[in-house]
Structure 1
Amino acid sequence: MSHPQSQAAAGSRSGALSHIRVLDLSRILAGPWCTQNLADMGAEVIKVERPGVGDDTRAWGPPWVRDADGRDTSDSTYYAAANRGKKSITVDISTEAGQDLVRRLAAQSDVVVENYKIGDLKRYGLDYESLSRLNPGLVYCSITGYGQDGPWAHKPGYDFVFQAVGGLMSITGERDDLPGGGPQKVGIAIADVITGMYATIAILAALQHRTVSGRGQYIDMALLDCIVALGGNQVTGYFASGKVPHRYGNAHASLVPYQVFAVADGEIVVAVGNDKQWQQYCAAIERPDLAQDPRWSKVTGRIVGRGELVPELARTMLTRTRDEWIERLEAHGVPCGPINDYAQVFEHPQVQHRGLRVDVPRADGGMVSTIASPLRLRDTPPVYDRPPPTLGDSTVAVLRDVLGFSDGEIEAYRRKGIV
């Protein structure tokens, strides 16, 4: 089924979603991560920002994006990491005229993504019920900490809070009885990122449903829901056994050995995922005695007896260097690897072959280095034709080309501080 607003964006970019226009009212990370996914897949993403200020994360530096002369700009690399491929317009949505501009854009868009506090956009007439009356085909995605309903729905929160409340920190970190033990957050804002990914999936599902129903729909995304869902096998194991999962540090609750081992000159990761790999691992480390011991032949025995088995393995692993072990283990088909920092990651030949660094030129002659999208569609690959936008870089173009404003009308809005 054809949608007029879809046709407005058609032909402006290549990519699987080149027929889709997204109105991005979100900021910080979860919403922008979602809309960057859509932009990478070719959607026209119009990011609405506060005049003079913009997305909060523009100021989250250093480090800063640099211009052609190597000087710091006013935009942080944090902002750049989640806003590639978008157009930025500045609109004061606290004004009636600004609200009217957003409504006009929503009427010609396929998707709206927002992460305002519950009720904020309803006060402005920019909630789903208001906008869907103008555009019944609109897919409207709200992202909040705790969701749109429930006793905690009104509470604010950042990623760190949800890693704690949602259980992730209870299973992340070293065991309490070992040095450095205790709860630990993940090194990236995983609640925000996973919510952005789930939101992307939900939006694509709603757009697909629209093709058969002719109608858009409302999507209620919550960081709490997403971080709890990430619990996966840990949570289902708890449901079945009643035993609350705990921290294993770098070990695995259901596989042994599956951990970091100290070696003669550092550390490596060894990941033995099944009983066949256990036999291959024993051959690689030249421990036929362990391979033949019936206590360790099955994964259940290795899990139950890890306290006795792992120290024995650890002593053996100290006898060779990292590179020696990796060569031997890989020769025997045992998954393993060094623990790389990010400098080493982007020196890795496979990472370089896959083109995981993407340098996008800026209008000022500078370059923004970003990470390639892992969404590798063969016929409609990701699009990297727009750098993270400078604040308001497309205000005039969007008002003129999408809404049909004249130069005089745009200047009048600018004089009043609306854009």
Structure 2
Amino acid sequence: MTSQATTPPTSAAAAPSAPSAPMALQGVRVLDLSRVLAGPWCSQTLADLGADVIKVERPPSAGHPGGDDTRGWGPPYLKDTEGGDTSEAAYYLGANRNKRSIAIDIAQPQGQALIRELAAQSDVLLENYKVGDLARYGLDAPALLALNPRLVFCSVTGFGQSGPYSDRAGYDYAVQGLGGLMSVTGERDALPGGGPQKVGVAVADLFTGMYATVAILAALRHRDATGQGQVIDMALLDTQVAMLANLGANYLCTGQAPRRMGNAHQNIVPYQTFQATDGHLIVAVGNDRQFAKFCEILGHPDWAQDARFATNAQRVRHRDVLVPLLAECIATQPRQHWLTAMEAAKVPGGAINDLAEVFDDPQVHHRGMVVPMDHPLTDRLRLVGSPMKLSATPVAYRLPPPLLGQHTEAILAELGHTADTIAAWRQQGVIA
């Protein structure tokens, strides 16, 4: 990595450029004091829907580069116009578009005053500080709701604002383990490679960000109806437990903890990967009719009439007999042979793509899931697009992920502060 200090341009635009169509959250201001992933994922979703998100970051100081920790979580880093590394990590870029960055030191009284000033003019405040940290600065929910009773104050922590674990730091990996996900993820213990396995992306963080988004939108609707803000207490562990979904229900109905099944399904057979002559494919049979069609494709229509396999319940009970029969047959032909036949017969399944293949896929291109954006440091920025497709209020990609403190002066000017005052605060280290 080539470390580069990023001096914010003094002529940064004061506000996001106007989209060509109305946006669902246009006029909503979000003061985002969160960092890393769960909080920023939430605020990026709100920003994609039109909210003006002001990302509050730590100014650079001795021993700390400043900003969201993920700015330095690389490689990989964004490439500049010459192909060299910039200071912006891909991790940070993936969760921070459509936001404006202001760098404020909230440890200083004047920094705290600026946060209060911004909160008084915001609809939502999002934060992921440890429980009690913001209270030390007078920036906790009771203090800010007293200042702005219409504020929706959303806290994201590992374990919530109460309970025996509330003081613990929360990390996605640990929560995947503690919350049960790793007990049902990975190959079966008795097979080669068996044992606990985390999911390949930080799903506890991401799901918490999405649940937080839903909660904030619900709170805004309540606020608009009643004039009252409220506090939202989001916890990674709560989310992890909730997102076990049918597996959690399986346990509560039976008292038996589900175990790891590798690429197989707990409740459906056949619903797993199989090895063809040239690689793996997915078979996702969802009902008995699809199973009968699949048996015809395999040249064994009699399997669908076998009492052991005729219904899904029987297939689950006899999976150790059925799956080897299917595997032996599928192993005789290449993947595309089976995928073409399955598509024609409307039997669900698919290829297993790496990300190069994903982003080269014509359907992914058609759906606009790769978004090029202008960036102050490069013309090479491409981001993963939003999956939200709204007919009347579409997502707009207005701003690239901001440089650290890129919009500090513009945001403070919006609050009515003069250039001389802003310069003095910068000299004192209150802002950057």
TM range (shorter): over 0.9
Residues 1:297 and 2:301 are matched in the alignment: no
Deviating 4+ runs (over 3 angstroms): 8-14
Residue 3 of structure 1 corresponds to which residue in structure 2? none
Query: Residues of 1 paired with 2:15 and 2:220: CA distance?
Result: 15
Residues 1:399 and 2:412 are matched in the alignment: yes
Residue 381 of structure 1 corresponds to which residue in structure 2? 394
AA aligned opposite 1:418: V
Q: 1:12 to 1:103 in 2, by over 3 A?
A: farther
- 1:43-62, aligned counterparts within 5 Å? 43-52=51-60, 53-62=66-75
- 1:9-158, aligned counterparts within 5 Å? 14-52=22-60, 53-158=66-171
Shift of the alpha carbon at 1:366?
A: 2.7
Q: Normalised by the size of structure 1, how large is the TM-score?
A: 0.96
For residues 137-191 of structure 1, the C-alpha deviation after alignment (integer angstroms, 9 at most, x for no partner) is 0000000000000011001121000000000000000000000000100000011
Residues 1:354 and 2:367 are matched in the alignment: yes
Moved more, 288-297 or 315-324: 288-297
Structure 2: gaps of 5 or more residues: 1-13, 61-65
Query: Residues of 2 paired with 1:251 and 1:364: CA distance?
Result: 45
Moved more, 288-297 or 323-332: 288-297
Shift of the alpha carbon at 1:65?
A: 1.2
Shift of the alpha carbon at 1:380?
A: 0.8
Residue among 256, 264, 279 paired with 1:243: 256
Residue among 343, 347, 356 paired with 2:356: 343
Shift of the alpha carbon at 1:367?
A: 3.3
Shift of the alpha carbon at 1:365?
A: 4.2
Structure 1: gaps of 5 or more residues: 1-7
Shift of the alpha carbon at 1:68?
A: 2.4
Residue 268 of structure 2 corresponds to which residue in structure 1? 255
Shift of the alpha carbon at 1:70?
A: 2.2
Query: Residues of 1 paired with 2:315 and 2:214: CA distance?
Result: 38
Q: Secondary structure at the match of 1:367?
A: coil
Query: Residues of 1 paired with 2:201 and 2:114: CA distance?
Result: 35
Residues 1:412 and 2:424 are matched in the alignment: yes
Q: Secondary structure at the match of 2:87?
A: strand
Query: Residues of 2 paired with 1:239 and 1:216: CA distance?
Result: 35
AA aligned opposite 2:57: E
- 1:121-270, aligned counterparts within 5 Å? 121-270=134-283
Q: Is the 8 A contact 2:17 2:398 kept in 1?
A: no
AA aligned opposite 2:390: L
Q: 1:10 to 1:180 in 2, by over 3 A?
A: closer
Q: Normalised by the size of structure 2, how large is the TM-score?
A: 0.93
Q: 1:385 to 1:159 in 2, by over 3 A?
A: same
AA aligned opposite 2:333: R
Residue 295 of structure 2 corresponds to which residue in structure 1? 282
Query: Residues of 2 paired with 1:333 and 1:231: CA distance?
Result: 29
Q: Secondary structure at the match of 2:200?
A: coil
Query: Residues of 2 paired with 1:377 and 1:111: CA distance?
Result: 22
Q: Secondary structure at the match of 2:144?
A: helix
Q: Is the 8 A contact 2:80 2:378 kept in 1?
A: yes
Shift of the alpha carbon at 1:12?
A: 5.4
Q: Is the 8 A contact 1:175 1:181 kept in 2?
A: yes
Q: 1:314 to 1:223 in 2, by over 3 A?
A: same
Residue 311 of structure 1 corresponds to which residue in structure 2? 324
For residues 201-260 of structure 1, the C-alpha deviation after alignment (integer angstroms, 9 at most, x for no partner) is 000000011111111100000000001000111011111111110000000011100000
Query: Residues of 2 paired with 1:306 and 1:277: CA distance?
Result: 17
